[in-house]
Chain A
Amino acid sequence: MRTTLKEGKFGVNEGVSLVITGIITKLFYSSASMLVNSMGTAAWYGTIVSCLTTLVFFLLTCLLLKRFPGKDLTEIFVETFGGVFGRLASLLYSAFIVYYVAMNLREFTDIIKTYIFPFTPVSVILVSFLIVASLLVSLGLEVIARVSLVYLYFILGGFVLLLALTSSDYNPDLIKPYLGYGLGNTLRVSFFRSSAYSEVLAVAFFAKSLQGYQNVKKAGITGLLISGGLASVVTLLYLMAFGYVEGREPLSGLFQLSRIIYLSRFIQRVEPVFIFVWVVSSVITVSIAFYVSLSIYCKVFNISNHRPLIFLFSYLMLAVSILPKNISEVLDIHMIVVRQYSFVLSYGLIIVALIVSLVFKRKGGKA
């Protein structure tokens, strides 16, 4: 497969930051309350099970990458499934990511509208957000990776600050009963919730930019473990602050958490400060996914310049994002698809490709 898109190079640090930002951004959305809703008080370790499940899938992905050194997933699909089916498989990913971006965008917009700008038209929030994301995408993968690395410290700092400032509200008794809705339920839900960590696959699509399978593996595993640990801590403290009954209700669990900050009569209601962290991580996440989708599309059709397609893709994402009638539809249908069942597609095709390559002894590429 001839690939003409020049994506530049970046290191493991940037790779790790892409993975972490991509995964943890959803904690700012409805993810924390959805976790509590589906696993109760077991949510905080349930997410670790999801993370470990993803780790196994990711190691299988690395195994596939190892068989085709110097190639990324798009090229590997063509090598294993053949020209037509390989390209179709890649296009399926591209289409799913468009859907993923659109739903993330919609969820973000609805939460912003609910909490911060109740009178601002959704279109203004959506379009302004997409303009900045499109700008980052037009600047290229290298730039997105660098921006994510620069802001990673601020994002992690924001988490730490938020959790530290609400420490007076933590009650360890609120994480009881420890088994939540039962161990079986926790394991089942957390297995499906592994989809929530599928952003790690971005590094597999950028294997060439990361300069080798070893770097992909390093960035992916490090990013996954840090994200899993952070998600677990955040969920644990969220549970300790609200308990599982109250914790199921907020649209954005962490924003609700930021609202209860009361350090003194002077320092209270500081939740707008966290808008900065929230918006930054959301823009970067959407840009990463946007770029992955665009990059796959360009590679499938041997397009050397991704820029002319940015407007079309952003328009497509905008159109898909306004399809759901309301936030309830987004959360009850689309987010369940994205964060619970998408692993069937995300890892299913990779596992099939791995099996095909093992059975038919297909391997290739240059280290």
Chain B
Amino acid sequence: MKKKDNFLAAFFKKLAYKKKPKAKSFYIPEINEHSGNAGAGPQDPAGGGGAKKEGKGQGKRSQKASGAAAVSTDINENLEFISQSFNLPENADIIIRQFTIAGEVRAFMAYIDGLVNKQLVSISILRPVLSLKSGDFERGKKLIDFIINNVIEISGVKKSANPSDAIYGILAGKTALYVDGCDSYALCETQMFEKRAVETPRVENIVRGPQEGFTEDLKTNVALLRRIFRNKNLVSEYLNVGYRNNIQCAVVYVKDIINPAIVKEIKRRINSIDVDAVIGDGVLGQLIEDEAWSLVPTMLTTERPDRTAYCIAEGRAAIIMEGSPFAIIVPVTLFSLLHSPEDFFLKWPFAILLRFIRLLSLFLAALLPALYIAITTFHREMIPTDLLISIIKAKENVPFPTVLEILLMEVSFELIREAGVRMPGIVGQTLGIIGALILGQAAVQANVVSPVLIIIIAATGLGNFAIPNFDLAFAVRILRFIFIFASAVLGFYGITLVLVALTGAIASMKSFGVPFLSTAAPRVRKSFDSFIMWPIWKQEMRPDVLNPLDTRKQAPISRKWTKEDPDSGYRKGEDDA
């Protein structure tokens, strides 16, 4: 027990300086990359290549390349392999269940807790296997075949003689079964995990047309597509990306329509990716797109199965990733980015009107502030006198030059938008509206900006929101600032120079081999659904730029009934008799 100080000692202790003992702060020690203790080694297929840097030309770091080459026939070695691979006992999620079949043969099951249907594992794997009696089977390498063919009551079971495949299977939610003396695993399809239900698309809302969007589950997404496009030639090829996160993506296409070179190129690009973790379609898209430095996207992203089905029916391919509710469509052209899924469900005159409105919105979003600066700074003669007087009146108390006013409002607008996105749900919407109203009103009253400018910025913002493609809208937001700068320096002349440079840059772009400005430049066979959308029954051919195997989409006369006489019909001028 601590001895209590007398009063005097305690008093002096309070007066005297006493250095406080400092706690040590944490730092991350450097890892010697060559010592071999950094991350998982090559013996660990689940961990990938670890932090070790691989030499040039060593190729893609793949789990399949590492790890043991064949499955051992000794159960202890296999237990050791699985335990080491999954970092047992630290890793609490991996379950290894050992048991003995008919009291004679040792066996074990391995799966990841939370990824499998435990009831299914118990009822359809464990119980039948444990019910075996000693006379029912023969020991040896063939025992695993016997169990797969006669015992396990699950439809999807695969035999795997590769330990890496077993690891992959377990990671994907399968249950691996090993029986002593065998040289293979039985991988049973027991996946079941929590997933979001199919819901209404959040980004691509439409009035007419289907109201279901992709989810984060790859199989569900492919199934949604198959439900719309019921064709035996609809192929979905599964590829793994990311040598650490081993995520699956599906390349979906119609085999007898798409040009095989497109599929080959997509697979080549995906297979060549040497990245540790590919999380989501956004990352994958950046890793495989042609124009990595371009602002304008060269791939179409959609969360709608109906739009994806339409695209693959045209001869394009869809790339869908596990964990992402979006499909990447390739190849595309600039005009595809201005299409909306609703276009296909509307009568063609309505669709044309909407496309023109979208083109106008693109023009407003990119150029309106720049044009305002150019006109009010360099080309005032253009403004009619009455309008000029009202602009000058509104601006006479504003101390800033027009370009500064525009930049001030543009930055404020971007701030409100970003803040609105970050705030949850209804708070975000309210923040956007209130922020814009209050900020605009206050700015005008404080004579920081002129009222005309608020109209310009509002119209620009609306234009930006009307662009149907999210990535393109982002590109336009950045381009707007470039145009503002050009117009502030050189007026219309500057805007035009930037516009030509931008057109040149876009004209040089390609999306998986397809010139991005086709069908306008280069000119190809007339498309009936490029910018202008013609009636559905006129859209006889698939896009020429895709060079599909089957160029014809419809018969020359697709509405055959127009050429046939109805059973009860009459000609004009004829009597009803």
Contacts and interface: CB of A to CB of B under 8 A. Distances in A.
Interface string B61-99: 000000000000000000000000000000000000000
Contacts of B386: 266
Nearest to A266: B384
Contacts of A273: 382
Interface in A256-288: 265-273, 275-276, 279-280, 283-284
A124 B501 CA distance: 17
B507 interface: yes
Contacts of A140: 508
Size bracket, chain A contacts: 35 or more
The residue among B382, B493, B508 with the most chain A CB atoms within 10 A of its own CB is B493
B490 interface: yes
Interface stretch (A9-17, A60-68, A323-331, A354-362): A9-17
Interface stretch (B24-32, B227-235, B517-525): B517-525
A132 interface: yes
A284 to B, nearest CB: 7
A105 to B, nearest CB: 13
Nearest to A128: B497
Interface string B496-516: 110111011101100000010
Contacts of A178: none
A294 to B, nearest CB: 16
Contact of A272 (B492, B505, B508, B515): B492
A283 B508 contact: no
Contact of B504 (A14, A116, A135, A272): A135
B139 interface: no
A150 interface: yes
B379 interface: yes
A175 interface: no
A265 B385 CA distance: 9
Given A117-B493, A129-B497, A280-B500, A147 B521 contact: yes
B497 A143 contact: no
Contacts of B493: 112, 116-117, 125, 128, 275, 279
Interface in A109-124: 112, 116-117, 120, 124
Interface in B308-347: none
B41 to A, nearest CB: 45
A147 B503 contact: yes
Contacts of A275: 492-493, 496
B500 A14 contact: no
A276 B370 CA distance: 14
A268 B388 CA distance: 13
A146 B500 contact: no
Interface string A146-168: 11011100000000000000000
Contacts of A136: 500-501, 504
Interface in A238-271: 265-271
A333 interface: no
The residue among A124, A149, A269, A272 with the most chain B CB atoms within 10 A of its own CB is A272
A139 interface: yes
Interface string B473-498: 00000000000000000111111110
Interface in A173-199: none
B507 A146 contact: yes
B523 A11 contact: yes
Contact of A132 (B501, B520, B521, B522): B501
A interface: dominant SS: helix
Contacts of B5: none
Interface string B448-466: 0000000000000000000
Contacts, number: 110
A135 B504 CA distance: 8
B507 A11 contact: no
Interface residues of B, number: 31
Contacts of A147: 500, 503-504, 507, 521
A11 B520 CA distance: 12
Contact of B494 (A11, A128, A139, A266): A128
Given A10-B522, A139-B507, A139-B508, A124 B500 contact: no
A146 B517 contact: yes
A14 B497 CA distance: 21
Interface string B515-551: 1010011110000000000000000000000000000
A117 B520 CA distance: 34
Nearest to A272: B379
A131 B504 CA distance: 13
B490 A128 contact: yes
B503 A151 contact: yes
B567 interface: no
Contacts of A149: 520-523
Nearest to B374: A272
A155 B563 CA distance: 43
Given A11-B523, A143-B508, A272 B382 contact: yes
Contacts of A13: 522-523
Contacts of A125: 490, 493
Interface in B156-171: none
B136 interface: no
Interface in B138-176: none
Nearest to B517: A146
Interface string B384-395: 111000000000
B515 A124 contact: no
Contacts of B523: 11, 13-14, 149
Interface string B372-387: 0011001101101110
A136 B499 CA distance: 12
A284 B521 CA distance: 15
A132 B497 CA distance: 6
A116 B382 CA distance: 12
A178 to B, nearest CB: 37
A131 B500 CA distance: 11
A144 to B, nearest CB: 8
Nearest to B494: A128
A147 B503 CA distance: 7
Nearest to A144: B504
Contacts of A270: 382
Interface of A: 10-11, 13-14, 112, 116-117, 120, 124-125, 128-129, 131-132, 135-136, 139-140, 142-147, 149-151, 265-273, 275-276, 279-280, 283-284
The 7 closest A-B pairs by CB, nearest first: A146-B521, A272-B379, A146-B507, A279-B496, A149-B521, A13-B523, A275-B492
30 contacts: A14-B522, A117-B491, A125-B490, A132-B497, A132-B500, A135-B504, A136-B501, A136-B504, A142-B508, A144-B504, A146-B517, A146-B522, A147-B503, A147-B504, A147-B507, A150-B503, A150-B520, A151-B503, A266-B386, A268-B384, A269-B382, A272-B374, A272-B375, A272-B381, A275-B492, A276-B492, A276-B495, A279-B492, A280-B496, A280-B500
Given A146-B522, A279-B493, 18 more contacts: A10-B522, A13-B522, A14-B523, A117-B491, A124-B490, A128-B497, A132-B500, A144-B504, A146-B507, A146-B517, A146-B521, A147-B504, A147-B521, A150-B503, A270-B382, A276-B495, A279-B497, A283-B497
